[in-house]
């Protein structure tokens, strides 16, 4: 009888990434990164953040708020993009202060790095920009944690080159996010073997359960998606052994101004997270 030990995950060395009292590491519980796709207003962001914080505090899950000040790659030029850098950072700063939680937001251009780093605890590199050297270097030089979303056009193995760029820019504060592996039959396809393969490079891996259900261009001039499949993919990713879960959530997803079809309703979040916690404890208890 073969003793399956899951060598790619259990025996690897992984950097521990710490932000305040939040830790991303091999066998600690997953961290939740959640919030609306884009800053629609301070009031909406605050309402979502308060609800998610209450749920995660009750469940004992560590929480980082996310929202984008600019969605620079919308399908249509007429789609809502957000309040922009200056106003967006003011809103994120107030949310951070009022809720007393860390903040993650996207960086789109290298010259934005220093301003974003004054507010954000984690700078996120969007998937379509994940190979942009100047952007990676600028983010690394801030000293903040850099979360790189793996482009859907890259194999898991190609992430090593991205990590090398960041390391050679003098940072090891690196997170890698899986958000769909390739395109097929009008949707993103998820290959969960990508997670342990990327973990083998020595850094925590986050799973984006909401963008992974995207159907790019599926709504004509908007991006479609399968919100009903978010729990299915989240369960699978947690069962593999991720360090963090990324979810875009909204009080009224269908009224969201960006990625409405892919955002998860806050009302269903408690039950889903509770289920995922049980899977996480089982998987990481086996490997501990």
- CA 65 from chain centre, in angstroms, equals 10
Positive/negative CA dihedral, 85, 86, 92, 97: positive
> What pLDDT does residue 188 have?
82
pTM for the whole thing?
A: 0.92
Relative to beta strand 145-149, strand 174-178 is: parallel
- Residues in a beta bridge with 194: none
Q: What is the CATH number of domain 29-283?
A: 3.20.20.70
Give every CB contact of residue 170 below 8 A, 6+ residues apart in sequence.
140, 141
Helix (H) or strand (E) holding 276: helix 269-287
The per-residue b/e assignment along 106-128, b for 16 or more CB within 10 angstroms, e otherwise, is bbbebebbeebbebbbbbbbbbe
Ramachandran sector of residue 35 (left: φ over 0; alpha: ψ -120 to 50; beta: rest)? left
CA distance 207 to 227: 16
String of DSSP letters for 149-210 = EPPTTS-GGGHHHHHHHHHTTT---EEEEE--SEEETTEEE--TTHHHHHHTTTS-EEEETT
Structural domain boundaries in the chain: 29-283
The predicted pLDDT at position 74 comes to 58
Residue 78: the pLDDT is 67
The pLDDT assigned to 2 comes to: 30
Strands 214-215 and 224-225: antiparallel
- Average pLDDT for runs of 10 along the chain of length 288: 40 86 93 97 97 98 96 70 93 97 97 97 96 98 97 94 98 96 79 96 97 72 79 97 98 90 95 98 82
pLDDT score for 180: 86
């Amino acid at each position: 009888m073969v003793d399956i030990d899951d060598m790619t995950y259990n025996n690897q060395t992984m950097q521990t990434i710490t932000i305040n009292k939040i830790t991303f590491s091999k066998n600690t519980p997953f961290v939740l990164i959640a919030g609306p796709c884009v800053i629609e207003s301070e009031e909406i962001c605050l309402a979502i953040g308060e609800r998610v914080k209450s749920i995660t505090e009750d469940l004992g899950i560590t929480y980082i708020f996310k929202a984008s000040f600019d969605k620079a790659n919308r399908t249509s030029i007429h789609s809502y993009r957000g309040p922009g850098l200056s106003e967006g950072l003011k809103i994120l700063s107030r949310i951070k202060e009022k809720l007393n939680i860390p903040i993650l937001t996207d960086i789109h251009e290298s010259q934005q790095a220093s301003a974003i780093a004054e507010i954000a605890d984690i700078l996120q590199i969007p998937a379509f920009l994940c190979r942009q050297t100047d952007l990676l270097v600028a983010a690394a030089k801030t000293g903040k944690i850099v979360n790189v979303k793996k482009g859907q056009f890259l194999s898991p193995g190609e992430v090593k080159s991205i990590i090398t760029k960041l390391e050679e820019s003098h940072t090891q504060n690196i997170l890698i996010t899986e958000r769909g592996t390739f395109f097929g039959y009008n949707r993103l396809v998820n290959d969960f073997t990508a997670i342990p393969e990327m973990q083998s490079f020595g850094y925590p891996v986050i799973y984006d359960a909401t963008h992974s259900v995207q159907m790019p261009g599926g709504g004509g001039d908007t991006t479609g998606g399968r919100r009903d499949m978010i729990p299915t993919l989240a369960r699978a990713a947690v069962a593999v052994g991720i360090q963090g879960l990324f979810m875009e959530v909204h009080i009224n997803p269908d009224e969201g101004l960006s990625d409405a079809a892919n955002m998860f309703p806050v009302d269903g979040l408690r039950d889903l997270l509770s289920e995922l916690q049980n899977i996480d404890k089982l998987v990481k208890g086996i490997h501990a």
